[in-house]
Amino acid sequence: MSRREGTVAAVGSPSLLEGYRLAGAGLYPAAGAADVRAVWAGLPDSVCVVLLTPDAAAHLSDELADPASPLTVVLPS
């Protein structure tokens, strides 16, 4: 069994992300399609898991379909 190491990023509305800092996630606040896509494109290569707010996930449908993308989890609304 292999072990992956990396970081966790949380992307989306700043008001919904703050608590994830306590769990060690890097926060990447973004509002609107352009911001979300820019943040996604600029995530460090070390990111292996991305927590997305529902709004952020809605703007990334094409990007999330890419098998090379990090593992993503959409937060409950």
Residue whose tokens read 């399609």: 33
pLDDT tens track for 22-74: 999 999 999 999 999 999 999 999 999 999 999 999 999 999 999 999 999 99
pLDDT tens track for 44-54: 999 999 999 99
Q: Look at the alpha carbons of 38, 25, 6, 58 in this order and tell me if their dihedral is positive or negative.
A: negative
End-to-end CA distance of the chain: 34
Which one-letter amino acid corresponds to residue 73?
V
Q: How far apart are CA 9 and CA 3, in angstroms?
A: 19
